[in-house]
Amino acid sequence: MFKWVWKATVNNNELWFSVIKSVHGDLAGLDGSKFKGKRFWVKIVDTFQKAKASGLVPANILRKKVGNGRSIRFWKDNCLGGGSLKDKFPRLYHLEVNPDCLVSDRVVNGTWCWNWRRSDLGSRVTGLIVQMEASIDLPLISYKEDQWEWIIADDSLFSVGVTRKFLDNILLPSLGQSTKWVNTLPRKVNIFIWRLAKNRLPTRLNL
């Protein structure tokens, strides 16, 4: 399911995803918006969102790496931290003149460039701005295109194997200490002692 979310996000102009967007809207639920139904795409997106909400995978596991900042929405896209900034700083979001502004609109010549609805912000709002600026690194705008990355992979590209290993490390129980066999003892004695240590002998109580 994660693979389909990755493919839809990175290759969102392919024919198969154009069909999905014609049914579920331009963003097809990938922005976290909820939509009802029992179609297969609804289940895929719902599983992905629930995995993030439950902490099974990082909230920003799929995020855009800032290049020129011309395709990333500053407030709504998950690229500058764990989740969208409009959810983390809703008061500042409502003061924004252009809620759909891009990263390139808010970072100009290596400095923050804000555009608020009023000039007199007050100490509380000013404090929130300082807090937001401190919580995110100032993006370095370049001439490269913005790119999607899968943050749990070393090469930032989605891989079924890497994702499966990541989930297994979280979901599967730890084996604890490794078993050391004594070569001087018969195999059946080693197995007996191992089962005794694990309390797995077929005694009446265990059975």
Render 92-147 in DSSP notation, one character per residue: HHHHBS-TT-BHHHHEETTEE---BS-S--HHHHHHHHHHHHHHS------SSPPE
80 in a structural domain: yes
pLDDT at 181: 86
> Is there a domain that residue 88 lies in?
yes
Confidence of residue 166 (pLDDT cuts 50, 70, 90): very high
47 domain residue, yes or no: no
Say what percent of the chain tops pLDDT 70.
93
Residue 178 reports pLDDT greater than 70: yes
The answer on pLDDT for 151 being more than 80 is yes
Digit-coded pLDDT (tens) for 76-92:
887 766 667 888 889 99
Residue 16 lies in a domain: no
Q: Compute the average pLDDT of residues 112-117.
A: 90
Evaluate whether 109 touches 138 at the Cβ level (below 8 Å): no
Mean pLDDT of 17-35: 80
Does residue 73 register a pLDDT over 90? no
> Greatest CA separation found in the chain?
83
Assess if residue 106 is contained within a domain. yes
Locate all alpha helices (DSSP H) within 25-77, ordered by sequence: 40-53
Domain that holds residue 118: 64-151
Average pLDDT rounded to a whole number, residues 28-56: 82
Q: What is the mean pLDDT of residues 154-179?
A: 84
pTM for this model (two decimals)? 0.62
* Beta strand pairing call for 107-108 and 62-65: unpaired
Within a domain: residue 174?
no
Report the domain count for the chain.
Answer: 1
Q: Is residue 163 situated within a structural domain? A: no
Backbone angles phi, psi at 95, to 5 degrees: -90, -10
Does any domain span residue 140?
yes
Structural contact between residues 83 and 59, judged by C-beta atoms closer than 8 angstroms: yes
**What is the pLDDT at residue 81?**
61
CA separation (Å) from 66 to 79, 102, 137, 151, 169? 8, 11, 11, 14, 29
| 158/136 Cα distance (integer angstroms) | 24
Confidence of residue 96 (pLDDT cuts 50, 70, 90): very high
Q: Which residue has the tokens 């490390």?
A: 169
